[in-house]
Amino acid sequence: MKSHTLIRRYAQGFVQAVLEEAEFNDLSAELARFARLLTEGGELQKALSRPFLPTKIKKEMVRQVAASTGLKDKAARFVTLLLEHGRLGLLDEILRAMPETWNEKLGVATFQVSSVIPLTEDQKRALSARLEKLERRPVRLEFRIDPELVGGLSLKIKHTVYDVSIKNRLLRLRDKIAEG
């Protein structure tokens, strides 16, 4: 739970420092590129994770990598901040949390929609329109396929799940039968 809170706070801090969508997209892409360097370039990750290597030397390494890869100043400062606080290992998870955090800043609700088969474009538009009406604000839908649902939909926004799937109905029916 602690790491989820930290991830959320760093994502929010980053998003608050970004002024516009184009900058958000550019910086997110740069941070993703740096994260790939960490995972693919094992030596960099090993060096930055050494506990006895002074932070000053690690910061210089990040500065050199940032300069050689064209990492913008704001992205480099964010990576340095994570490094200073021993949170560089959370970068991938922070990157995954940033789009939703950005949408929240813009006042857009993000729903994760799970279905057993892909929805048609008409179904997606109708669902989006209905949710915008219910939420009274713009919505962004992320679609996923979940073969375990059997049929129907499962909608998730933050920590709330609206499950109108056949699987959920069958589970409720089973519970009622078990109760007698």
Q: How confident is the model at residue 46 (pLDDT cuts 50, 70, 90)?
A: confident
Q: How far apart are CA 66 and CA 78, in angstroms?
A: 11
> Which residues have CB under 8 Å from 23's CB, separation 6+?
none
Predicted TM-score (pTM) of this structure: 0.72
Task: Judge whether 78 and 32 are in contact, CB under 8 Å.
Answer: no
Q: How confident is the model at residue 3 (pLDDT cuts 50, 70, 90)?
A: confident
Question: Mean pLDDT across the stretch 26-54?
Answer: 85
Burial 113-125 (b: 16+ CB within 10 A, else e): bbbbeebeeeeee
Domain boundaries, the chain: 2-103, 108-179
For 2-103, CATH number?
Answer: 1.10.520
